């Protein structure tokens, strides 16, 4: 349903503005008047797709969530708190918050209002908000949500930051080698091609590679593009097969990441008051691996029939299953999962740094071998020519 911006005057003669969802401009005018506002200007329609066209940072959502918790803890009514937050924001976030305020003023709950923006407020977020509203602990739930969103964003940031340097090194190496094989080496090897003497095999290989780069660069570009498209197709259509291979990562770093997501999300949702079956459903999507998602959903069916979580999860690390079993016996499952997530996070960060630390010498060694190959291939025929001249 389209969203309209409006400006007008309330019953006290004060200017007010906002957004409203309506079937058309006439319907928007009727709804605005029903609020006791005389509309002065109603702008053109804004679709939700337009509102969500820009990429919204989860850190902004975390900040808004934390501020909302602070306002509610200070005794500010929910509608006024949302209105105060909307005045601090710009662009898309401002429009979304204004719309939430309008829906709250019309009698909707905060969770129901947020469900109109599933791209912004995930299922776990609105589920936690609904649980907080029903239990009267919305302030505490909002604080937990902010902590969770910040932790999730921090983990993603660590991965991106760790990968920046090796990706940069690899990209620079590829560019340098492409330049050498395309422009520099052909000028050097042309001297050898003009000679009638036979060339060493390694030099012949160097000349052949150089000719490929020089004459068929467009084919190499097409090949690179084809590899990228094939990778995307495989990720889209053979995701389960790829994710199954990723689970067998010999370093254990990916399994550690998946278990970190599982324990952190599951513990967080349970601590927020969500039922275990709903928590398992939301956690399954958050792992980022289709194979694990299917295992968790299979476990959900068993748990719904009365089985314990620890005995229902298939092919999960034995240590984690033992921790879950202990948490079930003591009634502190959410607490032990959150503690386990902290342990997994520190272990994941240590392994990630170790793998990235190995990539740097591997890249340097690879570049050294390639440069050494080029040097030998160029110098060897020069030495042979020198021997002949003597």
Tens of each residue's pLDDT in the chain, 390 residues = 556 777 787 777 777 777 776 666 677 778 777 777 877 777 754 455 545 544 567 788 999 999 999 999 999 999 999 989 988 887 788 888 888 888 888 788 999 988 888 888 888 888 889 888 888 888 988 998 898 888 888 888 888 888 888 888 888 888 888 888 888 888 877 777 666 667 788 888 888 888 888 888 888 889 989 998 998 888 788 888 888 888 888 888 889 889 998 999 899 888 888 889 989 988 988 888 899 999 999 999 999 998 999 999 988 999 999 999 999 999 899 999 999 998 998 888 888 888 888 888 888 888 889 888 888 888 887 777 666 555
38: phi then psi, degrees, rounded to nearest 5: -90, 110
Please check whether residue 255 lies inside any domain of the structure.
yes
Please identify, among 92, 127, 148, the residue that sits at the C-terminal boundary of a domain: 148
The C-alpha atoms of residue 368 and residue 94 are separated, in whole angstroms, by: 54
* 222 and 335 within one domain: yes
HEC string for 207-234: HHHHHHHHHCHHHHHHHHHHHHHHHHHH
The C-alpha atoms of residue 183 and residue 354 are separated, in whole angstroms, by: 37
pTM, to two decimals: 0.70
The C-alpha atoms of residue 52 and residue 46 are separated, in whole angstroms, by: 10
* 133 and 97 within one domain: yes
The C-alpha atoms of residue 48 and residue 64 are separated, in whole angstroms, by: 20
Contacts (Cβ under 8 Å, ≥6 apart) of 141: 128, 129, 131, 132, 272, 273
* 62 and 22 within one domain: no
Q: What is the DSSP letter of 5?
A: E
Task: Work out how many domains the chain is built from and give that number.
Answer: 3
Please check whether residue 52 lies inside any domain of the structure.
no
Contacts (Cβ under 8 Å, ≥6 apart) of 47: 2, 3
Please check whether residue 359 lies inside any domain of the structure.
yes
* 178 and 33 within one domain: no
pLDDT for 1 equals: 52
* 183 and 131 within one domain: no
* 190 and 123 within one domain: no
The C-alpha atoms of residue 336 and residue 99 are separated, in whole angstroms, by: 39
* 197 and 77 within one domain: no
Contacts (Cβ under 8 Å, ≥6 apart) of 77: none
Query: What DSSP element (H or E) covers 381?
Result: helix 333-389
Please check whether residue 51 lies inside any domain of the structure.
no
* 359 and 215 within one domain: yes
Picking from 138, 136, 135, the residue whose alpha carbon sits closest to that of residue 125 is 138
Please identify, among 126, 148, 170, the residue that sits at the C-terminal boundary of a domain: 148
The C-alpha atoms of residue 140 and residue 280 are separated, in whole angstroms, by: 22
* 271 and 300 within one domain: yes
For residue 227, the enclosing domain spans 151-390
The C-alpha atoms of residue 279 and residue 104 are separated, in whole angstroms, by: 26
* 231 and 352 within one domain: yes
Please identify, among 122, 148, 174, the residue that sits at the C-terminal boundary of a domain: 148
* 157 and 143 within one domain: no
* 111 and 16 within one domain: no
């Amino acid at each position: 349903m389209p969203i309209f911006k409006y400006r007008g005057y309330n019953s006290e003669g004060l200017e007010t503005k906002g957004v409203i969802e309506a079937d058309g401009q006439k319907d928007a005018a009727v709804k605005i008047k029903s609020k006791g506002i005389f509309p002065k200007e109603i702008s053109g329609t804004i679709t939700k797709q337009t509102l969500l066209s820009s990429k919204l940072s989860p850190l902004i959502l975390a900040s808004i969530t934390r501020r909302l918790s602070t306002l509610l803890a200070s005794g500010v009514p929910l509608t006024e708190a949302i209105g105060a937050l909307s005045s601090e924001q710009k662009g898309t976030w401002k429009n979304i918050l204004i719309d939430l305020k309008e829906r709250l003023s019309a009698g909707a709950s905060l969770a129901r209002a947020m469900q109109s923006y599933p791209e912004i407020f995930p299922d776990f977020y609105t589920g936690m908000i609904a649980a907080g509203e029903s239990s009267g602990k919305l302030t505490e739930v909002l604080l937990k949500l902010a902590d969770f969103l910040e932790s999730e964003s921090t983990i993603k940031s660590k991965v991106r930051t760790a990968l920046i340097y090796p990706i940069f090194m690899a990209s620079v190496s590829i560019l340098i080698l492409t330049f050498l094989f395309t422009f520099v080496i052909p000028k050097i090897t042309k001297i050898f091609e003009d000679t009638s003497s036979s060339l060493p095999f390694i030099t012949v290989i160097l000349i052949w590679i150089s000719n490929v780069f020089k004459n068929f660069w467009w084919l190499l570009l097409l090949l690179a593009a084809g590899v990228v498209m094939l990778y995307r197709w495989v990720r889209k259509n053979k995701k389960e097969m790829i994710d199954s291979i990723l689970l067998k990562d010999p370093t254990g770093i990916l399994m550690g990441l998946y278990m970190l997501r599982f324990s952190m999300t599951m513990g967080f949702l349970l601590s927020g008051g969500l039922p275990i079956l709903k928590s398992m459903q939301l956690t399954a999507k958050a792992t980022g691996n289709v194979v694990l998602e299917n295992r968790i959903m299979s476990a959900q069916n068993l748990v719904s029939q009365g089985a314990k979580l620890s005995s229902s999860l298939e092919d999960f690390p034995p240590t984690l299953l033992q921790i879950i079993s202990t948490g079930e016996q003591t009634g502190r499952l959410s607490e032990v999962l959150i503690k386990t997530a902290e342990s997994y996070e520190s272990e994941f960060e240590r392994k990630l740094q170790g793998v990235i630390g190995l990539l740097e010498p591997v890249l340097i060694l690879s570049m050294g071998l390639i440069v050494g190959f080029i040097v030998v291939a160029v110098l060897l025929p020069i030495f042979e020519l020198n021997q002949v001249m003597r």
